[in-house]
Structures are given as C-alpha cells and as structure tokens.
Amino acid sequence: MNSSRGNASLVLLSTALMLLVIAQLFFLYVGREYERHLQYLRAEQLRLLCFSAMESLTGKTVRAGSKQWFKTVLYPGEMEACVSSTLTVSDDQCVSCLEVQAECNSERQLLRQVKFSLPKLLQQEAAQCGIISSTEVVGAEFLPQGTLYTGGREVIFPRAKDCAWQAVTELPMDVLRLNGLCRRFYYLDDYRGVSFNSGMKIYGSGLIAAEGSITIADGCEFTDDVILFSEQKIKIGRNVKLPHALLLAKKGISVGSGCRIGGVLLSGGRIEFTGSVDFSHDENLVAGFTSVYYIL
C-alpha cells in the first residue's frame, strides 16, 4: 500500500516537474518571440521614419553635411528615436548623395537617394541643341531636317566614378532581362566596357556609368528614361530604340541606321551617324536623374 502511494507520488512529482519545464520553455519561447516581434516592429517604425523624412526633404534645399532633424518616441516601450540626414556632393557638384538615418538605441535604418545632373553651362547648351560635340558631327545629312547640333565646342563632363556612391557595380544580362534597371545607378569599372546583346528589351529607368565603352547591338530597345555615360565611346547598332535617352561619351558616339532616338547626345569626341536616324530633341532629359529611395 505504502509502495503504491510512493509510486503515485513519484509519478505526480515527475509530472509536475515536466509541466514546470514545459511552462518555462513556453515562457522562454514566448519571450524570444516577443523580442523578435519587437525588433521587427522597431525596424519597421525606423524605416517609416526614414521614408517620411526623405519625402519631407524632397524639393527642399539641403546643404552639404550632416543635420539632425527631429526626435520622437516609439511605442511600445517609450523608446526615443532620432532622425538625421547627411548630404555628400561631388567636387563638380554633378553627383549628390542624400542619406536619412533613423536610430533607436542600437537599432538603425538608413535610406539613400542619389542624384545626377549636368554642369549648369552644359545644361543650358543641351537645352538648345540636342547634339553637341567637342570636335565634329559627321553624317548630319541623315538627321531629320531642322535638327540643331553644334561641333567644335568644348564639352566638359563629370567623371564616371563620381556615380559610384553605393551604385550597383555589376549588370548581369539575365538579371537585367527579368528586373530591368529599377531606377538605380550602375557603375561599371571594367575598362573592357559593357555590351547589350542584339534584340534585348530593357525596361525601367536608370543611369549606367562605365569606365569602358558602351555597346548597344542591333535591335535593342530601352523603354524608359536612361542615361548612358561612358569615359570612352558609345557605339549604337542599327534599328536601336532609345526614345528617352541622355548619351554622354568622352571619346565619341556612333549611331547606326534605322535608329529612333529621343533625347540629347553629348561627346568630347566625334559624333557620327552612318545612316538615316529618327532623332528628336528632348530637353527635359538634361535636368538629370534621381534614383529610387533604397534601404541599406
């Protein structure tokens, strides 16, 4: 009888201990899940603060350097958060990078936007003439009648590497076909240049700055606003469509027959047309390019 009671007591004790361990594990799990959820919530709150601050700065004159904008309190926990910004500008004023940062204790979110614009004097000239070369324009007879161009005037460019601030540093063609340019900056430091394959259709706007030449094969089409910037040459094949393009090449631009180009062509070297080209001047493109906001 006593033995049975003792066994029952041991069973009850073991069960109680097991339930206690399970309860501790449960509360430990709940606590960790709560911490994960709180961390996720805090990151989302900081991200929203970054986007809100960036939107409020759009269109405003922001001076170079760092500035603290405001402080706020995040819930749950009544945690203080601080929002600040940093604007970095290239020496020639052509490329600027605006970062907005939101911090709460050790947690931080950083939002970035990059802008590119031509030098003011070049903007004014390109607003008047859609084709400008420092040396000569060859094949002007292939352009639509009345097209304004100028040759023999020095064209001063920004540097391609100034566009490298947090730019995407590679441009795989398979990814490009699927995702497009996604309104980002791309900096390619390979001096062998970059080539777009025949018949490619490239969606989305973007800026591509390359240390080497940019080659666009026959039949390619860029559907949206694009800036192509080469330290060497831009070579365009036949029947290429660039309806909204700003082309900058320090050592020359060549354009094949049957192309349709809307925008502005600027080069420190010779600009050459080898056949009939449907060209229209789009002065709106000289205003520059602004990347999408992106979280780092």
Question: Which residue, 205, 215, 275, 211, is CA-closest to 246?
Answer: 205
By the 8 A CB rule, do 160 and 182 touch? no
Residues 6+ apart with CB under 8 A from 232: 191, 193, 210, 211, 212, 213, 249, 250, 251
In the structure encoding, which two tokens stand for residue 234, read together?
């831009």
Cα–Cα–Cα angle for 289, 292, 294, rounded to 5 degrees: 140
pLDDT score of 143: 95
pLDDT score of 174: 86
Neighbours of 215 (CB within 10 A): 18
Task: Express each pLDDT in 95-109 by its tens digit.
Answer: 999 999 999 988 999
Q: Is domain 2-115 in CATH 3.30.1300, yes or no?
A: yes
From first to last of the 296 residues of the chain, give the pLDDT tens digit: 555 555 666 666 666 667 666 666 666 665 577 678 778 888 898 999 999 999 988 877 888 899 988 899 988 878 899 999 999 998 888 999 999 999 998 899 999 999 999 988 888 889 899 999 999 999 999 999 989 898 877 888 888 888 887 788 888 888 888 899 999 999 999 998 999 999 999 999 999 999 999 999 999 999 999 999 999 999 999 999 999 999 999 999 999 999 999 999 999 999 999 999 999 999 888 888 999 988 86
CATH 3.30.1300, the chain: domain bounds: 2-115
Helix, strand, coil percentages for the chain (3-state, nearest 5) = 30, 35, 35
> How many whole angstroms separate alpha carbon 259 and alpha carbon 277?
5
For residue 74, the surrounding DSSP H or E stretch is strand 65-74
